[in-house]
Amino acid sequence: MNRIKPFTCVLASFLFLFSATGCAKERYTVSWFDMFDTVTILLAYSDSEESFSAQSQALKADLTEYHKLYDIYHTYPDLNNLKTINDNAGIAPVEVDQRIIDLLLLGKELYALTDGQVNIAMGSVLSIWHDARVAAEQSPESATVPDTELLQQAAEHTNIDDVIIDEQAKTVFLADPEMQLDVGSLGKGYAAEMAMRTAQENGIENALLSVGGNLRAVGEKPSGSWTGGIQNPWGDAENASLYTIELSDCALVTSGDYQRYYEVDGVRLHHIIDPDTLFPAGYANSVSVICPDSAMADGLSTALFNMSVEDGMALIESLENTEAVWLLPDKTVKMSSGFADFCK
């Protein structure tokens, strides 16, 4: 499903701010609801609705391919995806598309960079939490916390070295038969990054893409930078945006405890699981990252959410062109040295 409307854009977790311009190009938006289990929105300036429609449909087709490749829940005819790899864990290598290999290689790089705080091989643990959350959504009064022993047993099958990638043969093999891949920590960001790069090659010059709130900006608006909002995790609907961020040829990605969660005895159990404790991380309510690459921003926001502010700050300050902000449970805010420069 898609809807094209000039001059309007609605996004659940972010607030876009625009000003009227007298430029020749018109402003258009389109939204889709059938990829990555979230809302995807594209806003761009184009010479005509026909031109925008052609460019947006090409972008959607690209994102749809990534959605299918990175799906761990469904199979598709004549396509080997992440579910195919998981289904063949301990059995046989699976020949896959280069876009899967590239994503998994990036996952390994991020694992090393973050000292294991992003782990694409953690699916055995994450699936337990996923099942508990789905069960709670269907029957809130019966919501439960996963058994610690069960989580610890699953964690024994998360060694990323057991993800064997043969780049020459273009195969992936999970050496541990109990291992499962889950790329939720960077899949959407990677897909958004690569799709927008292709869109630029296809002629898109001024656009803002949101995949479930993961923002990737190309160029600027005629009136200046694109803007995106960072949600206030402590506020209400009337105070949804805490910061307005100026974006130009970069990405803004937020990880928060208010996005996907369920409650047991009044305790919020969100979807970002600390690889060290195997339970929802409790360092922050949200962490937002700005950097030129949407995939890196996605992976880093997850990693920082699983780290103390001190460790996370040290990591961010060691990276070029990368900034972050932490919104903490005591309602304090911590920013990296250059983050304020992006605040409008």
Paired strand residues for 38 = 35
Give mean pLDDT in consecutive 10-residue pieces for the chain, a chain of 344 residues. Answer: 36 38 76 95 95 96 98 97 98 98 98 98 98 96 96 98 98 98 97 97 95 95 93 76 95 94 94 97 97 98 98 98 98 97 94
What's the pLDDT score for residue 240?
79
At 187, give phi and psi (nearest 5°). Answer: -60, -50
Instruction: For residue 13, give the amino acid letter.
Output: S
Instruction: State pLDDT tens for residues 69-97.
Output: 999 999 999 999 999 999 999 999 999 99
Share of the chain above pLDDT 70, in %: 92
The Cα 325–Cα 117 span in angstroms is 18
Number of Cβ within 10 Å of residue 258's Cβ equals 14
d(CA 250, CA 209): 11
Each residue's pLDDT tens digit, 237-266: 555 789 999 999 999 999 999 888 999 999
Which pair of structure tokens corresponds to residue 216? 């990737």
Whole-angstrom Cα distance, residue 308 to residue 304? 7
Of residues 323, 267, 258, 319, the one with CA closest to residue 290? 323
Residues 268, 236 contacting (CB under 8 angstroms): no
Placement of tokens 């926001």 in the chain: 301
Instruction: Look up the CATH superfamily of 82-174.
Output: ApbE-like superfamily (1.10.3980.10)
DSSP string spanning 189-214?
HHHHHHHHHHHHHTT--SEEEEETTE
What's the pLDDT at 227?
95
What pLDDT, on the 0 to 100 scale, is given for residue 160?
98
Residues 247 and 219: their CA atoms lie apart, in Å, by: 9
Question: Where are the domains positioned within the chain?
Answer: 82-174
| DSSP structure string for 113-133 | HTTTSS-TT-HHHHHHHHHHH
